[in-house]
A and B are shown apart, each in its own frame.
Chain A
Amino acid sequence: MHSQSISSAIQDQRRSEKRRWFVICILFIILAFSFVLDVATGPSMLGVVEVSRALMQFFGLPAKVDVTTLVIVTELRLPIAIMAVIVGGVLGVGGAEMQTLLNNPMASPYTLGMAAAAGFGAALMLYIGSLGLSSNVAVPIGAFVCCMLAACLLFALATMRHITSGQLILAGIALLFLFQSMLSLVQFIASPELSQQILFWLFGSLSKSSWTNLAIVASVTVVSMALLMNDAWRLTALRLGEERAKSLGVNVNSLRLRTLFIVAVMTATVTSFVGIIGFIGIVAPNIARILVGEDQRFFLPLSFIIGSFLLSSASVLSKVIVPGALFPIGIVTAIIGVPFFFWLIIGRRRR
């Protein structure tokens, strides 16, 4: 029915889709590799082969490994390694969707003050003595509540009829400063020991991961990702500009609120468990955009995978930089992320 040139253009399109799936698969394999490495590194170093065997056994595949290794892997290392993968992914996706919503490659939950709000919430909780709860429970709750509070302020702004993305970003940055100075205030009036604790929380750490935390984070992530993928095409359309998205039949306001809410819940959840890890939210989506473009069918999953990879490999580095000690992971992410990011921006050529 259609002409020769149309058939060949269809093939071009299919080829380009295949290429992008291929990129996603490759990065997934790299992620799997860094995941295994993450499980293998630690105070008692394990061999990659041993770890692979233990993982296979854990997942019910036929393989045998001694009990000590199995316990180290499943009880100590695995929750942390999986947490790194999920948290990194969530931060990557959160950044990707913020950049999409606000039409700005510099947006991320961090730049909009959500992370700072979580930090403030955690610090406040530590300061007021955890309300009689165990600090392992109270601190995440404080962080979550404050993070959602910051998000609610952004929602309120976003529902206003004539507010532009630029104004929303400015408001977010204002929130960032507000919560940061309130955080400083808490640190200022707190005792030195408490201040130290707050600082430790702010650096971000995966070491408090347990199977329970993991279950909460994982279920929030799965639901959120499914909801976001359901809006994939609408989100792609949004990047054409709000007016054009409207003209294509997108209910822009409701999409914006819905996505902002999902991202806020995801970010608040992971931040409340692991603290502030800032850099991934900006970098992962930018790398994903360069690799597969902004068709959200590919952009969304790849942002997740790249975020996961960045945090997972940062977790490996945080354990090997100073042998025997755990380097704060938030610092490591920036150290490995920035040079890579520069290389991508500068080495980038138009297709």
Chain B
Amino acid sequence: MNQKIIEQSLCVKNLHVKIDQLELAKGMSFDLHPGEVTVIIGPNGTGKSTLLKTLFGDINRQQGDICFGETSLNKKWLSKWRKHFGYMPQDIHLDIELSVLEVVLLGQLDALSLRLNESMVSEALYALEQIGLLHLADRPVNALSGGQCQMILFAQAMMRKPSILMLDEPVSALDLHFQQVLLDHLDRKTKENRWISLMVLHDLNLAAQYADKLLVVKDGLIVSHGAPKTVLTPELVKDVYGVDAEVTVDGQGIPFIRTRRSSYKQEPDNVKTKLKKETGVSSVF
């Protein structure tokens, strides 16, 4: 990889997107930098997935510029633009008679020929080994669980060796172990290869742990963009989700968000103090 590619950032300026009558972006501007994991958070239906699809060139924008280094998103050069991207859509349903290995191999679609070459097969297998699923390689994908499918599709997206990796709720079906495997792996690869990684997560605590930057989206606007420590405040959670929450800092200096049941509002003060004592340790749950 040459130096030039490594230094390119993804810049979005004054983005407007409208689907039917629904305005999903009303002038978003932000920059994403190589080597950083950015997590998009925000309420349901505010256009987080739409934002990813727009960056991928699958949804037309009304207005605004999307640039990656010197190239900008343009309908004519769509396939060239998409070569920079690894994109993992939300849907993880795989109803096809293929083996896991074949599905992962499809990540390198453009390079596949009628005879699979050895190095490509071993690369796909290595990708599986890294996420701990090598033993599934020859299993049919339609016999896997939803979480296993999600991991396989993650491996597929990684196979594209993208400059920009976009994941739409990549951990929605994963157990605690695989959440950690996937996010750790993503973080490591992003730093190693200087990828621009962008993903949508709903769990604020996972976002706080793994995001270098948070991008908070609400009503088509960027409410906040920055490091989790500065972005995640009780006011922001209240503002964006309409939920009361306490934000403390855990032993590693990472913000920890604990929401309160709305029915607790009227509870006496001792609940609050008791909670405060216990926050920061996992025994809260």
Do A and B bind?
A: yes
- A residues adjacent to B (C-beta < 8 A): 2-3, 5-6, 9-10, 12-13, 16-17, 103, 229, 232-234, 236-237, 239-241, 243-244, 246-251, 289-290, 293-295, 297, 350-351
Could you tell me if B125 and A247 are in contact, using CB atoms closer than 8 angstroms?
no
Which residues of chain B are within 8 angstroms of A232 by Cβ–Cβ distance?
Answer: 114
A244 with B91, Cβ < 8 A, contacts A6-B122, A13-B101, A289-B97 known:
yes
In the assembled complex, B112 has its CB within 8 A of some CB on chain A: yes
Which residues of chain B are within 8 angstroms of A3 by Cβ–Cβ distance?
Answer: 129
The answer, among A9, A236, A249, A351, for a CB contact under 8 Å with B79, is A249
Q: Can you offer 28 A-B residue contacts whose CB atoms are under 8 A?
A: A2-B126, A5-B134, A6-B125, A6-B126, A6-B134, A9-B101, A9-B125, A10-B125, A13-B116, A13-B137, A13-B138, A16-B138, A236-B102, A240-B106, A244-B89, A244-B91, A247-B87, A247-B88, A247-B157, A248-B106, A248-B156, A248-B160, A249-B83, A249-B109, A289-B97, A293-B102, A295-B98, A350-B140
- B residues adjacent to A (C-beta < 8 A): 56, 58, 79, 82-83, 85-89, 91, 93-99, 101-103, 106-107, 109-110, 112, 114, 116, 118, 121-122, 125-126, 129, 134, 137-138, 140, 143, 153, 156-157, 160
- Complex Cα distance, B118 from A289, in Å, reads 25
- Complex Cα distance, B109 from A41, in Å, reads 47
- Complex Cα distance, B110 from A237, in Å, reads 11
Which residues of chain A are within 8 angstroms of B93 by Cβ–Cβ distance?
Answer: 241
Could you tell me if B94 and A240 are in contact, using CB atoms closer than 8 angstroms?
yes
- Complex Cα distance, B109 from A234, in Å, reads 7
Which residues of chain B are within 8 angstroms of A351 by Cβ–Cβ distance?
Answer: 140, 143
Q: Which of A240, A295, A350 has the most CB of B within 10 A?
A: A240
Which residues of chain B are within 8 angstroms of A289 by Cβ–Cβ distance?
Answer: 97
Chain A residue, CB-CB nearest to B52: A247
Could you tell me if A9 and B134 are in contact, using CB atoms closer than 8 angstroms?
yes
Which residues of chain B are within 8 angstroms of A295 by Cβ–Cβ distance?
Answer: 98, 102
Number of CB contacts from chain A to chain B under 8 A: 98
Could you tell me if B101 and A6 are in contact, using CB atoms closer than 8 angstroms?
no
The answer, among A16, A240, A350, for a CB contact under 8 Å with B143, is A350
Which residues of chain A are within 8 angstroms of B79 by Cβ–Cβ distance?
Answer: 249, 251
Determine how close the nearest CB of chain B comes to the CB of A127; give it in whole angstroms.
44
A248 with B109, Cβ < 8 A, contacts A241-B93, A293-B98 known:
yes
- Complex Cα distance, B142 from A293, in Å, reads 11
A250 with B109, Cβ < 8 A, contacts A229-B114, A243-B91 known:
yes
Chain B residue, CB-CB nearest to A161: B60
Chain B residue, CB-CB nearest to A297: B114
Could you tell me if A249 and B82 are in contact, using CB atoms closer than 8 angstroms?
yes
Which residues of chain A are within 8 angstroms of B114 by Cβ–Cβ distance?
Answer: 229, 232, 297
- Complex Cα distance, B109 from A244, in Å, reads 12
A5 with B129, Cβ < 8 A, contacts A229-B114, A294-B97 known:
yes
Could you tell me if A293 and B58 are in contact, using CB atoms closer than 8 angstroms?
no
Which residues of chain B are within 8 angstroms of A244 by Cβ–Cβ distance?
Answer: 89, 91, 153
Could you tell me if B125 and A294 are in contact, using CB atoms closer than 8 angstroms?
no
The answer, among A12, A229, A247, for a CB contact under 8 Å with B137, is A12
Could you tell me if B96 and A239 are in contact, using CB atoms closer than 8 angstroms?
yes
- Complex Cα distance, B140 from A233, in Å, reads 17
Which residues of chain B are within 8 angstroms of A17 by Cβ–Cβ distance?
Answer: 116
A248 with B125, Cβ < 8 A, contacts A12-B137, A294-B97 known:
no
The answer, among B97, B101, B102, B107, for a CB contact under 8 Å with A248, is B107
Determine how close the nearest CB of chain A comes to the CB of B149; give it in whole angstroms.
10
Could you tell me if A240 and B103 are in contact, using CB atoms closer than 8 angstroms?
yes
Which residues of chain A are within 8 angstroms of B86 by Cβ–Cβ distance?
Answer: 247
Which residues of chain A are within 8 angstroms of B58 by Cβ–Cβ distance?
Answer: 243, 246
Which A-B residue pairs are the 7 nearest by beta carbons? A247-B87, A293-B97, A294-B97, A233-B112, A239-B96, A243-B89, A6-B125
Could you tell me if B97 and A9 are in contact, using CB atoms closer than 8 angstroms?
no
